[in-house]
Each structure stands twice: as C-alpha cells, then as structure tokens.
Amino acid sequence: MSVQWNDLFAALAIVLVVEGILPFVNPTGAQRAFSQLARLSARELRIAGLVSMVAGLIALYFARS
C-alpha cells in the first residue's frame, strides 16, 4: 500500500476545516471548551488523545473498507 501525498494533504485540510467549525460558529462555547481542556491533568489529556486516535482509526478503517 503506497501513501498518496495528495490524500494526506486532503485529510489534513479536512481536519483543519472541522476543527475550525466550533470557534467560527460559537466562539464563546469554544472558549469555554478550551478553558475546560486547560484544567485537565496531563493523564486525562493523554487518555482523551488516545480515545480520539482510536476512534479516528476505527472510522478510517470503516471509511476505507
């Protein structure tokens, strides 16, 4: 399986678009969410990051199969 650089850049572009939706639509809500994230411990952030990565891999698996 070869990696197509265009696919990688397209995926990164989609991530940027999705991450920009909340601050654009609801900036006050985004500030509250970021404030709550800043209060999490390093361990809690790592767990949230791991869960996010696993969910993304599962979604990618189903999207590509």
pLDDT tens digits for range 34-63:
999 999 999 999 999 999 999 999 998 998
Q: What is the pLDDT of residue 60?
A: 87
- Token digits for 24? 């654009």
| Number of domains into which the chain is organized | 1
Considering the chain, what is the average pLDDT of its residues?
92
C-alpha separations of 28 from 19, 32, 55, 65 in Å: 15, 6, 27, 38
The range of the structural domain enclosing residue 48 comes to 5-64
pLDDT tens digits for range 19-30:
999 999 999 999
pTM for the model stands at 0.71
pLDDT tens digits for range 2-14:
668 888 898 899 9
Q: Is the CB of residue 30 less than 8 Å from the CB of residue 22?
A: yes
